[in-house]
């Protein structure tokens, strides 16, 4: 089964995309959504991408 890891780039909660997730699930995908991407206290905001990358990789692993 194929897994989709969804990380949105706005301030809306992941649940906003529920209709999209439901369609993907109905098509046979497993969906994992990052609820508060970029809010991990272990990886504070910076002016670059490494913290966000590390957060996403940690979720996937």
pTM, two decimal places: 0.72
> Tell me: the pLDDT tens digits for 9-58?
777 888 899 999 999 999 999 999 888 777 778 877 788 888 888 888 88
What is the pLDDT at residue 17? 94
- Angle, CA of 29, 32 and 38, to the nearest 5°: 150
Residue 59 pLDDT more than 90? no
Domain around 43: 3-60
CA distance 22 to 20: 5
What is the pLDDT at residue 13? 85
């Amino acid at each position: 089964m194929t897994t989709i890891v969804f990380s949105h780039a706005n301030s809306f909660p992941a649940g906003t995309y529920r209709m999209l997730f439901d369609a993907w699930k109905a098509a046979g995908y497993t969906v994992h959504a990052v609820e508060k991407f970029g809010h991990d206290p272990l990886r504070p905001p910076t002016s670059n991408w490494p913290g966000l990358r590390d957060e996403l990789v940690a979720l996937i692993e």
